[in-house]
Structure 1
Amino acid sequence: MSIPQTGGGPIEHHDQLSQLMADGCKPKSDWRIGTEHEKFGYCKDTLKPLPYAGERSIEAVLSGLRDTYGWAPVTEGGHLIGLTKDGANVSLEPGGALELSGAPLETIHETCDEVNSHLAEVKSIADKIGVGFIGLGAAPEWSHDEMPLMPKGRYKLMDQYMDKVGTAGTTMMRRTCTVQVNLDFGSEADMVKKLRVALALQPVATALFANSPFFEGKVNDHKSWRSRVWRHLDDDRTGMLPFVFDEGFGFEAWVQYALDVPMYFVYRDGEYIDALGMSFRDFLKGELPALPGQKPLLSDWADHLTTIFPEARIKQFIEMRGADGGPWRRLCALPAFWVGLTYDQSALDAAWDLVKDWDAETREELRVQASIGGLQAEVRGIKMHDLAREVVKIADHGLAARARPGAGGMVPDETHFLNALKDSLESGKVPADELLDRYHSDWNGDLSRIYGDYSY
């Protein structure tokens, strides 16, 4: 999850709220790719999740990365809670999952090199202390009580609030992992088209990357349990956002939506101040109960935007949030999928033509059925396997048109990063299907086999 935002000064007029996002508009030559991925850590001998502190712990992994690979520490309340280096950061999810938030990079070749380097570093430290890491959408066996809450003020506040507004918030915090990509836009109109395509096609990403068919040691009847968890979290800040498809949607419409999302906190002088359920509209008037008489800074608004969790969201870029965490090669496939769809205008137009006639009910049903059936989902005559095949074809054309070479020019473009998805389309099986096949065959129902066979 996001780290506290900084800078910007006081909010003196309403237009600053939309301008913060509009300031993200960039010429195409400056568009970048930021890939984020989370993975669960565990002790190899017990197969239990890592505590925060101790010989085999999250703190030990972070300390090892700091001391061995030159990452700069990020601390809160005397605790090591993250690392930074070269525009990237390593942070902790609430239940101890380790996240790489990658630097903004020009090509998928570069972002994949970054992922590979990070996982190699993590593995080198983890192997020394008897720790493993695994990429899945949901913790396969561990209970809520086995997943420790990390020592971050933001998480303590969120944990208190989650059960008041839904049934799965604390499960999301502790026992789910994702891979996502952050992408740029050139103008307000470009943002609108990209966000609409992003929301409409998140179910395709959910289906292709579905990788959480187990929960609490059992088959859960969903290909993506992570996606199911997000549907039961908090209706005020999640979902498919039908208003994005309304005529006239733009930055100001997002501002009005965000202002109606209840607050979590205000960050001041290294401390998280409890503003749970309070109104940012009241904050703008100096009437926030948590800070009476004070008005917000632009950094408070930027922080608030990080507490909104729909399937795709706007900050100064667009975040694609629909995919399960997964195996190594799919961590590069996710940015390839979305870059191919959105960074070439012909591909973006083709993707929009594919979805522009869908209504809100169709989009929502696709979201639900993707989490249950993966590529086998079908909604109102739309077969997910056929839809995914067409979408990946558009992405492939988009990447070919970008023609960004790698390996010193030996690789002509980025299309090969879609190979993992093309393999799924050929076989009809996504990672969740492969896991279920193993569970019912050579694992003989022994879910503990997942760690040895699927860890990084």
Structure 2
Amino acid sequence: MVHDTSDPTPIETHHELVDYLVQGCRPKEAWRLGTEHEKIPFYRNGHTPVPYAGDNGIHALLDGLAARNGWQPIIEDGLPIGLIEPKNGSAGGGAISLEPGGQFELSGAPVRTLHDTRDELLRHLADVKAVADPLGISFLTLGMSPLWTRAQTPVMPKGRYRIMANYMPKVGSLGLDMMFRTSTVQVNLDFSSEADMVQKLRVSLALQPVATALFANSPFTEGRPNGFLSARSNIWRDTDGDRTGMLAFAFEDGMGFERYADWVLDVPTYFVKRGDTYHDVAGLSFRDLMAGKMPGLEGERASLSDWINHLSTVFPEVRLKQFLEMRGADVGPVPMLLAQSALWVGLLYDQTALDGAWDLVRDWTEAERQALRDAVPSEGLAAKIRGRNVRELAREVLALARAGLKARAFQNAAGEDESGYLDPLDLIVERGRNQADDLLALWHGPWQQSVEPAFEECIF
């Protein structure tokens, strides 16, 4: 999510809510991918968190980046809270945004190939490093802040985050940790039709725990092992049950755009934005807004931007907007960021690979899918479904994804196709150890039970 919209176009019927999702359908030749990743900033001197204000804070970092790359500031209450890349014909459209605790996010522009994503990512990191280095700032490649308490973590000046932070403790015990201390990578992918969306949604939901195990990279909290390989993934299990999870209904007969829209309608609203003002309506019904009966905003009717903003406040393992978002992976170093996009592009953008993946998961039950999702944050590649561990399953999934990428046959200047971006995942499966396993071995060994070395070794 980049920034909240303010489109006043009124929405008056249920059909218009559904139609907004339907408009995401694109022919295969128009499919693109967009990679998003978050990274936790810290000061190299003292390994302390970076506040928003100050001569070398997040505000200064945004100002420096805008001066360097010409991106336009996104302003809220007179303060920059992100940057947006100007469109240049069909190119551009990326953005930089701030997560609640200062996690610095690149939302990549829609691009055609993984090679394009790699080039974009390297440009972004070079720009960020050029501006951040003189400020004394570096960025962690970990999926969770490994040292600081929640109280030590800064708060970014965004209206929606104030509302969310007030509401989260009412609906779960870990929502504030999700907001302020975790960091993820995701890829956004297209679909051609309702049937294509449903197949992709089902496959990616069922296999999201496999991605979680492969990318697990958040084993530390407040200086010690937290008992998980992906604490970030575990945190989502107790954030807000109304708006998270594995979407069991997506596997039921009749699944489609309307069924998803109905689910989102039943998720309590966080806020309604009018102009630059965020109205706190946390826990109230979007249906009341459509009827002009939302308490405190009587007479106000839902607009298109209200629906778009509301869609961005549900957090299932795979999220549907006018594209699909893969949400199961911890952030990691550059090769892992590219591998995450490669995994899902390979599986979902080649029909043979997609059909093969569906054959793997189609007869799993809701209980089996949920049990796997619950086990993976702590058990990683050793978690099992139907007597098979995730490591074995991942080997099959990666073979399908590699074949899918080879079939796409998009080559870079050196004549290499996209399948090489999966190599880090093949190595993890071959070794039977993910990033978190390796980090824990370092903590118990060379790091001498300290996370301080992570601030030297686990950085972009």
Fold match by TM threshold 0.5: yes
Q: Does 2:459 correspond to 1:446? A: no
1:58-88 CA deviation, whole Å, 9 max, x = no partner? 1111111111221211110011100011200
Would you say 1:126 and 2:136 are equivalent positions? no
SS of structure 2 residue aligned to 1:197: helix
> 3-state DSSP class of the match of 1:264?
strand
Match of 2:362 among 351, 356, 374: 356
RMSD: 1.0
Q: 1:405-425 CA deviation, whole Å, 9 max, x = no partner?
A: 112xx2341000101101111
Q: Indicate the residue corresponding to 1:297 in structure 2.
A: 303
2:418 equivalent to 1:414 = yes
What is the aligned partner in structure 1 of residue 88 from structure 2?
none
What SS does the aligned partner of 1:144 have?
A: coil
Q: What is the CA deviation profile of residues 361-397 of structure 1, one whole-angstrom value per residue up to 9, with x for unaligned ones?
A: 1111111211111112223312110001110110000
Tell me the equivalent position of 1:68: 68
Q: Deviations over 1:229-271 (max 9, x none)?
A: 0000000000001000001100110111011100000111111
Deviation at residue 138 of structure 1 after TM alignment: 0.7
SS at match of 2:187: strand
Aligned counterpart, 1:83:
83
Alignment map for 1:2-401 (pairs within 5 Å): 2-7=2-7, 9-85=9-85, 86-401=92-407
| 8 Å contact from structure 1 (residues 168, 229) kept in 2 | yes
State TM-score, norm by structure 2: 0.97
Deviations 1:213-235 (A, max 9, x none): 11111111211000000000000
> What SS does structure 2 have at the residue aligned with 1:316?
coil
- Please report how far the alpha carbon of residue 6 of structure 1 lies from its aligned counterpart in structure 2 after TM superposition: 4.1
Alpha-carbon distance between aligned partners in 2 of 1:221 and 1:388, rounded to the nearest angstrom: 23
Deviates more, 1:289-298 or 1:224-233: 289-298
Question: Residues of 1 paired with 2:69 and 2:299: CA distance?
Answer: 46
| Contact 1:369 1:379 (8 Å CA) reproduced | no
Q: 3-state DSSP class of the match of 1:293?
A: coil
Offset at residue 8 of structure 1 (A): 6.7
Aligned to 1:426: 430
Unaligned 5+ residue runs, structure 2? 86-91
SS of structure 2 residue aligned to 1:265: strand
* 1:290 Cα deviation from its structure 2 partner: 3.0
| Distance (whole Å) between structure 1 residues aligned to residue 175 and residue 255 of structure 2 | 29
Question: Does structure 2 conserve the Cα–Cα contact (< 8 Å) formed by 1:274 and 1:290?
Answer: no
Q: What one-letter code is carried by the residue in structure 2 that aligns with 1:437? A: A
| Cα separation, 2, equivalents of 1:79 and 1:96 | 14
Moved over 2 A (4+): 5-8
- 1:435 corresponds to which of 431, 436, 439: 439
Tell me the secondary structure at the aligned position of residue 240 of structure 2.
coil
CA contact (8 A) 2:56 2:135 kept: yes
Gaps of 5+ in 1: none
Write the distance in 2 (CA, Å) between the matches of 1:111 and 1:270: 33
Query: Structure 1-normalised TM-score?
Result: 0.98
Residue 146 of structure 1 aligns to a residue whose secondary structure is coil
Per the TM alignment, residue 310 of structure 1 is displaced from its structure 2 partner at its CA by 0.4
Q: Could you tell me which residue of structure 1 aligns to residue 89 of structure 2?
A: none
Instruction: State the percentage of identical aligned residues.
Output: 51
Shift of 1:13: 1.8
Paired AA for residue 55 in structure 1: D
- Structure 2 contact 443–450 (Cα < 8 Å) conserved: yes
Query: Across the two proteins, how many residue pairs are aligned to each other?
Result: 454
Question: SS at the partner of 1:182?
Answer: strand
